[in-house]
Each structure stands twice: as structure tokens, then as C-alpha cells.
Amino acid sequence: MKSPKEIRTGNFAGRRAVLVTFKGKTESETEETVKELESLSLTLRLKVIKEFIYRPDTIHPATYIGKGRLEEIKIYTDREKTDFLIFGCELTPVQQRNIEDYLKIRVIDRTELILHIFGEHAKSKEGKIQVELAQLSYILPRLTGYGVSLSRIGGGLGIKGPGEMKLEVYRRRIKERMHRLKKEIEEIEKHREIIRMSRKRKNFPVVAVIGYTNVGKTCLINKMSSSNLYVANKLFSTLDPATRGVYLGENRICLITDTVGLLYNIPHDMIEAFKSTLEEVGFADLILCVYDSSSPNMDRQYETVIDVLKLLSCEDRKKIDVYNKIDLLNPEDLNILKNSYPDAVFVSAHSGEGIDILKERIKEALYGNPVRI
């Protein structure tokens, strides 16, 4: 290990990976969990060759899963010459290191997997700063234990080997870098505040779009504003916030802001790093909560959005629920959905169906119903 940066990089394209996931309360929840981890792995262009699905029994402090399961995985990974083992949960630094020592292959937990995707997709200076801060927060506690591998010299009482001294240097450098990054984010937040004040003076109401990753938020904004923001059918393709103007009719205009996609049980450090992006939601006059109507587990999407809104103290703000991708539903399922959520708006960002209705609802929420004579 030459430097802390080495931990944050990796060549994943075409490498062979085995996934380890755990059963949910229902079959559909298990299916969604497996599909999500597989999608995350494929976003990094990993080649998934096997999925081990276990019941979430007692968590072992040393290796998370029991020795029997670990041995089963080792037999398979040795035989199939596997490069990575991807865990569908967050591992402690000790668990991750112990599993790697036993299997002799690289082990990546769910958090690290997401961070690698963030690292590939961040394009703007702000996005790169936020990603690096989240990565360093993840790395810092995992440096413990590397002191032994950095030094072959054993130390007695009160004596530190060169490896342990090098470890302290790494730790100090990471903390200094994190401090500098936080200062840079503070400067970005000041700049954002100036932009917000400018919009207020011009009386432009702001609409923030929030939702699960890959539900079509950016595609929806493109459709409403005739923009061409980058869209891709993969997770976390949007990390940098973008704002566009939308004409609502009757000389009414609003600004609509995209936000980073959410994920179920997203790590706290990641939320903290991207708080400057997500806090755009807190300053919006209206929030669009977008859901994928074709997903078999919309409850998970809803819970995730509500949890993040609570974290941002925005759960009581004015909002509209928008169910996207209705073009993927048959008429019967769509009618059931409309009856279940009568106050929601149902759209297809792909075909444009329901977009005019959504604009009308936004106009009513922002400007009220005009008096017609």
C-alpha cells in the first residue's frame, strides 16, 4: 500500500465477482435486494458469475457470516478464480480484513461499491470534492490494522515499528485533506447562497426533484424543460445538481433542480458528504418526489425518500408525488396504482404522457388557482 489513494482506485471492467446478499421479509424484497446489488456491480462493469443468498441469521463479529458459509464461498471462489467478493451490507473494518485474509481475494462491501460508482460518475469540481470526502470518511477507520502489514519489525512495549509510524502519517494526511475539502464545500455553499438570493430577487419559485436512483428524475426534467442533461439507464448517473427553467403556461415560470439519487439504507457518511447538494431541497418552494411505478418494491423507494426528507427537516414541506415510467405498465396495473394514490401524478418521461398535467399541478401549487372571469 503506497498511499491512501491506492485504496480508492480499482480496475473493475470485466473482472469476475461473486455477490453475497441476504433474504428480506418477503420474496419480492429479497428479489429487489439481489437485483439492486447486481445493478450496482454491473454499473462498475463487473462480471457477476454467482450470487449467494443467505438468511440473515446471527451476525458474527469477526466475519459477519459463519465459518460454514465462508468455506462454501471459498471453495467456489478458488475453483472459479474470482477477483472480487461483493457483500450486500456494510462490513466493519475488522470483518472486511478477516474475510479477505480467509478467502485471499478482494472484499468490497455495499458502501465501498457505491463510493467507487460515485468516483467514476462525478464530473464537476463540486461532485469530485463531495465524492472524495465520502471516500476518505470510509477509508479512515479502515487504516487500523495496516500497521502490521506496513512493517516486518515487531515492537515491544512503548516501541513503534516503521509501519505504525507510516500509518500515523497516512491518518494525519487524510484528516488534513478532509479538513481542506470541508472548507472548499463551505465556499461552494456560500456561492450557492448568493445564487439563491439572486433567484429570490427575481421572484423565480424553485422546485426540487428528489427520488431513488434511476427512477428517471433527470429524464423528467429534460422533458419538462426541453433540456439535454446527461441521462443513462444506470445507477447514480447524476451526482451534480443542475437547475433548468420550466414554462408552466399563462406566463408562469419556475426553476427545477435535480438532486443526487437516493438508495435504501444509504450510509450516514455519504449523506453528510452530499448534504450541500441535497440541501437544495430545503430551500425549494415545492418538492417533487419521483417514484418508479414499474418497480416491484415501491414501498422501499417511498421509505427512503421520507427518511431523507426527515433528515433534511423537510418532511412537512409542500410536495407532489410523481409516479414515472407508466409506459412500462399495462392498463390494469396503472388503474390499480391510480386508485391507490389518487393525489399523485402519473407520467412517462419517455413518451411525455402526463407531463402537461404535472406542469398544471406545479403551477397550482406555486401560484394558486387564478380567478377566471
Please enumerate in sequence order all residues whose Cβ is within 8 A of that of 215, keeping only pairs 6 or more positions apart, or say none. Answer: 261, 290, 291, 292, 295, 301, 324, 325
Q: Is the pTM of the predicted complex or chain greater than 0.85?
A: no
Q: How sure is the predictor about 240, in pLDDT bands with cuts at 50, 70 and 90? A: low
Is residue 180 within 8 A of residue 136, CB to CB? The reply is no
| Grid coordinates given for 218 | 433527470
Grid cell for residue 196:
439563491
Instruction: Give the 3-state secondary structure of residue 117.
Output: helix
* 8-state DSSP, 261: P
pLDDT over 90 at 84, yes or no: yes
Average predicted confidence (pLDDT) for the chain = 81
Give the H/E segment covering residue 245. strand 243-249
Q: What Rg do the C-alpha atoms of the chain give, in angstroms?
A: 23
Instruction: Identify the top-confidence range among 116-125, 128-137, 324-333.
Output: 324-333
Pinpoint the residues of the chain covered by CATH 3.40.50.300.
Answer: 204-367
**CATH 3.40.50.11060: does it fit domain 4-121?**
yes
Cell 420474496 locates to 27
What CATH number labels 204-367? Answer: 3.40.50.300
Mean pLDDT along residues 23-29: 84
Question: What's 68-104 look like in SS3?
Answer: HHHHHHHHHHHHCCCCEEEECCCCCHHHHHHHHHHHC
Contact between 314 and 281 (Cβ < 8 Å): yes
Interval 279-292 mean pLDDT = 88
By mean pLDDT, which of 12-16, 230-234, 294-298, 308-312 is the weakest? 230-234
Predicted confidence (pLDDT) at residue 171 exceeds the cutoff of 90: no
Which ranges in the chain are annotated with CATH 3.40.50.11060? 4-121
Contacts of 289 (CB under 8 A, 6+ apart): 210, 211, 305, 309, 319, 320, 321, 322
Given a contact cutoff of 8 angstroms between Cβ atoms, the answer to whether 312 and 41 are in contact is: no
Reference 218, options 180, 273, 279, 260; nearest CA is 260
**CA dihedral of residues 340, 342, 344, 346 (deg, nearest 10):** 80
